[in-house]
Amino acid sequence: MEKDRITMSQKQLNKFVILSKANAGFITVREASEALGLSERQVKRLKKKVRDGGASGVVHGNTGKTPAIKIPDTTKMEILRIRRLPEYAKCNFSHFSELLFEHHGIEISYGTLYEIMKSEGIKSPKTKRRRKSHRSRKRKPQAGLLLQMDASPFAWLPGNRGVYAIHGAIDDATGQVTGLFMTKNECLHGYFELLRRTIGNYGIPASVYADRHTIFQSPTAKKHELDASVNINDTQFGRCLKELSITLIPAKSPQAKGRVERLWGTLQDRLPVEFAIHKIKTLEEANAFFETYIYEFNANFAVEPVSTQNAFRNLDANENIDHILCIKEKRIIDAGGVFSYGGKSFKIIDDGLALPAKTHIDVLIGSRFGVMAAYKGYVMEALPFVPPKRRKNTSASMEPRITSPPPPEHAWNDGIKANIITINDIKFESEATYYETVRIIEKTLLGKYR
């Protein structure tokens, strides 16, 4: 038989000897059970197999057969070929297994992929570090109760295109990324667009947990945080959060907002690979990619909240999000409805509301609408205004003077020049005598022609 030709292991040979002794009556079933570590019922079943089939009774039926779940050699070679492509060079094994299924239709477990990579001497670029012990903070029970917000500068785009900043927000209860937006550096515009995407994707959160960057709060806030009598002005982003009824909670350390800090570690490992695969090379392409990528990311990493109640709120239908996510500053208009901003003049264009001179208005500056004016919640259009130029005075007194040579009877032609020239020919006894003579001549000539 085929099974008899199979080489037996030492364990199988020992099992065969003990079962053969039990069949011959040298030992009891209980003694064989204790020797093999099997139940008596199992020993009786194996005794019959050895009695009927000899040594093949202790050999497993799949011994010598190719496993049905074995990865074919062609598939293994294809996986190794894909792995050696430049865009996958910095991809960790877990992310690589996801990309194999998403882009190449190859479904493989992490354990099998790890064994293939290990057999070829390929190591994961993301080395494991020893975890630092820390006290974990309990998650919020409902989605939308708290968003952790931050920005991370990094060389995100492939091809050494410089360092850019991604602004991101993650929900504390679920770990869902509510929005991502990339700019050249961490800035107010980036956080405005991040909040816009968060509200569009999920809604208005109850509170935001962020660091003490001057975008979020005034530099004097930390100095006077214990003195309630000091009035601290809001930043533009702080004013925006107040208009949306969002509470700003300042973090005192990066570890306090550890969920968003750990998010950056994951994204810095994955996004450069995703950008390389999708041929993304510009900020505009990256921000368009984020619109759908966050849902794929959340499907892999988000968790279920403790409570099914959702704390996100919908934006009121009467509110314009563009008029909230913008810069607002106070100005005063003149009798013609003109105000100045940034060294330029703007005129309010609205026939329905006539504002008197010296009225205080809010100037709205946004990336989506430019410059507008608001008065008591009423928003008006404002266009650049160039005041008319004044006419120049063309009277005779303002005309340029035309010079002409002096007339013949002028003093210059009547001896002054001659006297000045001939005086140089006179010899004086001393320098003092010379200057005294010049003084007398000048005094005489001035008296003559005055």
Percent of the chain with pLDDT over 90: 37
Do 188 and 267 share a structural domain? yes
Choice between 142 and 401, residue whose per-residue pLDDT is larger:
142
Q: What is the pLDDT of residue 192?
A: 95
pLDDT band (50, 70, 90) for residue 3: very low
Residue 129 lies in a domain: no
Do 246 and 289 share a structural domain? yes
Do 427 and 352 share a structural domain? no
Residue 110 lies in a domain: yes
Do 271 and 246 share a structural domain? yes
Residue 41 pLDDT greater than 60, yes or no? yes
Residue 104 lies in a domain: yes
Do 184 and 104 share a structural domain? no
Do 184 and 113 share a structural domain? no
Do 297 and 151 share a structural domain? yes
| Residue 182: CATH number of its domain | 3.30.420.10
Segment 201-210 shows an average pLDDT of 94
Cβ atoms of 219 and 250 within 8 Å: the answer is: no
Residue 130 lies in a domain: no
Q: What is the pLDDT of residue 80?
A: 85
Q: Of 63-77, 123-137, 279-293, which range is least confident?
A: 123-137
Residue 316 lies in a domain: no
Residue 44 pLDDT greater than 90, yes or no? no
Do 187 and 110 share a structural domain? no
What digits encode the pLDDT tens for the residues 118-156?
A: 887 887 776 665 566 666 778 999 999 999 999 999 999
Residue-number span of the structural domain to which 22 is assigned: 3-58
Residue 220 lies in a domain: yes
Per the structure, the count of domains in the chain is 5
Do 151 and 89 share a structural domain? no
Q: What is the pLDDT of residue 67?
A: 67
Exposure string (b/e) for 375-392, b if CB count within 10 Å is 16 or more? beeebbebeebeeeeeee
Do 84 and 221 share a structural domain? no
Do 294 and 260 share a structural domain? yes
Choice between 237 and 447, residue whose per-residue pLDDT is larger:
237
pLDDT band (50, 70, 90) for residue 325: very high
Residue 335 lies in a domain: yes
Residue 213 pLDDT greater than 80, yes or no? yes
Residue 373 pLDDT greater than 70, yes or no? yes
Q: What is the pLDDT of residue 332?
A: 93
Do 273 and 183 share a structural domain? yes
What digits encode the pLDDT tens for the residues 12-39?
A: 788 888 888 888 888 888 888 888 888 8
Task: Quote the pTM value.
Answer: 0.67
Cβ atoms of 217 and 248 within 8 Å: the answer is: yes
Residue 153 lies in a domain: yes
